[in-house]
Structure 1
């Protein structure tokens, strides 16, 4: 096995079991490992630190896998890690919910691998060169452990570019998923499209937050922004919202939402769908002097990296300022960021700036997080990407 030797003093993160070794921390590579090959990482004094995937095309030059020297990184090792990750989610799946994330990359000691379960189908995202090399082993293990009808590849994320990998999408094994797979979450039925849907097919990371927000919507008028397939919309209608207006720029999202409304038997009189840029639509509502009792702001990732943080902060601030201006006095707003570069304290500061610009007083009622099938390793805080606030605007 090829040795990767760190510079003196650069072993601290690895000793604390953080899974990333940046290229600038490396003193020497003894040999020419293939990108994605497992290497042995050593401190400057040649003491063993960990095993990991090497990739000289990535700023994260090594993604650490295992800190025990006597553990071999082989098919049995992958099987044990996958089996453990799947078992830890077993209680999430029940009669009310048959979709969740089964593997969450570094948080499950499998950097660059995401596996989502949608009823009888699996969606696979491979975002590292190391996982790409063992893709066939992973498929065999998932078949053995879960016996799915089919496994679909959604490795089309831009993150693959950082590993010098091409985007890939298509059937990996088994049956081709139907145009719509029927899944249940919180007792609500959704038809989702794996091939054409965003991310891995469905935003299961908002499962708990949808239920929490819905508790505040009975008899209320709700504005669901960036509604996608309608998670917040459908949960609000289930809890008795008087009227829900749903906005998304995607025609497919609006079409899918309308389909899901019919699946659950909700009256069309209680819901209005608008295909529009959200910021533009919020300004239209403001000009019309429209008001809502509850607003949901669940935008896409505005800050893909720390270099984009300032620009993203301005975008989040303006979005939230507009939302606050559309709320009835005492109204409730659920506002989210899925940007890992924006931590909770920064997000709170952004909301404070938005309140100041809007001339509003704001109370924080709850803090939102990602659900337990998106765990955060204490040694890898970067895994905590989803955060949100439930606020009352006075």
Structure 2
């Protein structure tokens, strides 16, 4: 195994078990490791620090895996990490109301660059690092042995792979059979049709599972607007718990079509539901011009800040989006607003909402703080894993 030498004085984060080591902290490699190879990280004196995946084309030169020098990273090591991750989700899947969740969450489960989502009898898998790419055969084999899925589908994101010097993934089936156009799953007792092959990201946003249920408890008898509704998570939960009306807005025709099918699947057809395919920002302004008002508004936009360098621009976008939403709420109405940008911490998000309220001439109370569910855990040594945050605001 090739040694990679750390620059003097750069040991702190490694000793604190942070899994990322940036290229600027590397002094040299004692050899020529290939991207994705497992290397031995040592300090300037040659003392062992950790094992990790090496990649000289990524800003993250090493993704650290193991800090115990006596533990060999081999096929059994990867199999054990897969087994441990899946076992930790057993309470979610055995409750009877849900058969979809995230089984493996990258660094949080000590498998950096691997995301596995379970959709009933199918798995959706993303491989985003060269190290996982090199070990995918044993990972796929272990998933098959443990879960016997009908199929494992590759949903690896091309742009993320580019940062690792990886080509576009082959896509399609990695094992088993191709998923049907809509795989039916259960979440919180509701049924969803998931388009794994063509849907966004891994196919479904299971990270909002708890938040959908919590928000729905505030929607009985209320006029609800669900923005960036995708395939209807907040919409269906609100209709189920007795919302007076729900308007769902998304720019994706596929999402709106799937949403309509999901409403039928659950027997929630109602003349009080309206689905609109439109750019959300434009539609909000149209509602304002028409004098439309709501009791509850959900804002669950895509990632505006993929990196810290984009945070200022993203903050302006979040502020403008939330400002116009506040203007569409009846006095005392509720705004459930989210950010899935890891670079946007909760305190910054609160400040952005305070600016939005000031510009809208509104007073805002934060009455609940949303977060990602337990199948998206956050390692104490890797706070960057906490990406989803949200606030339930009363707008006065």
TM-score tier by shorter-chain length is over 0.9
1:50 maps onto 2:47 in alignment: no
What corresponds to 1:183 in structure 2?
A: 185
Residue ranges of structure 1 left out of the alignment (5+ in a row): none
Count of residue correspondences: 394
Query: What secondary structure is seen at the aligned counterpart in 1 of 2:296?
Result: strand
Q: Distance in 2 between matches of 1:299 and 1:381?
A: 22
1:67-146 paired onto structure 2 within 5 Å: 67-93=67-93, 94-146=95-147
Contact 1:157 1:199 in 2 (8 A): no
Q: What aligned pairs does 1:155-166 form with structure 2 within 5 A after superposition? A: 155-166=156-167
Per the alignment, residue 342 of structure 1 pairs with 344
Secondary structure at 1:163's aligned position in 2?
A: coil
Q: Which residue of 1 aligns with 2:293?
A: 291
Question: Is 156-165 or 84-93 further displaced after alignment?
Answer: 156-165
Other structure's SS at 1:69 match: coil
Contact preservation (8 Å) 2:193, 2:258: yes
Counterpart contact for 2:158–2:167, Cα < 8 Å: no
CA distances 1:188-218 after superposition (whole Å, capped 9, x unpaired): 0000110000000100000000001000000
Q: Residue 13 of structure 1 corresponds to which residue in structure 2? A: 13
After superposition, the C-alpha distances for 1:262-318 in whole angstroms (9 at most, x for unaligned) are 000012312100000000000000011110000000000000111111110000000
1:241 is matched with 243
C-alpha contact 1:206 1:370 (8 A) present in aligned 2: yes
Moved more, 161-170 or 215-224: 161-170
User: 1:4 — aligned with what?
Assistant: 4
- Displacement of 1:158 after TM fit? 1.6
SS in 2 for 1:366: strand
Alpha-carbon contact 1:331-1:392 (below 8 Å) kept: yes
Q: Which residue of 2 aligns with 1:30?
A: 30
Regions of 4+ moved over 6 Å? none
Structure-1 separation of matches of 2:300 and 2:28: 44
CA distance in 2, matches of 1:290, 1:118: 37
CA distance in 1, matches of 2:196, 2:346: 31
CA distance in 2, matches of 1:136, 1:267: 44
Q: Which residue of 2 aligns with 1:360?
A: 362
> Which secondary structure state, in structure 1, belongs to the residue aligned with residue 271 of structure 2?
helix
Q: Is this contact kept in 2: 1:102–1:373, CA < 8 A?
A: yes
Structure 2: unaligned runs, 5 residues or longer = none
Which whole-Å CA distance do the structure 2 matches of 1:23 and 1:125 have between them?
24
Pairing 1:274–2:276 present: yes
User: SS of the counterpart of 2:373?
Assistant: coil
- Counterpart of 1:316? 318
Query: How far off is 1:354 after superposition?
Result: 0.2
Cα shift at 1:157: 4.2
- Note the alpha carbon deviations across 1:134-175, whole angstroms, 9 max, x for none: 111111010111111111110124211100112221100001
**2:233 is aligned with 1:210:** no
Deviation at 1:222, TM superposition (A): 0.2
How big is the shift at 1:118?
A: 0.3
Using the alignment, how far apart are the partners of 1:100 and 1:368 within structure 2?
18
Q: Distance in 1 between matches of 2:212 and 2:162?
A: 32
Residues 331-376 of structure 1: CA deviation (Å, up to 9, x unaligned): 0010000000000010000000000000000000000000000000
Query: Once superposed, what is the RMSD of the aligned Cα atoms?
Result: 0.6
Aligned to 2:387: 385
1:302 maps onto 2:297 in alignment? no
- Describe the superposition over 1:117-145 as per-residue Cα deviations: whole angstroms up to 9, x where unpaired: 00001110001000001111111010111
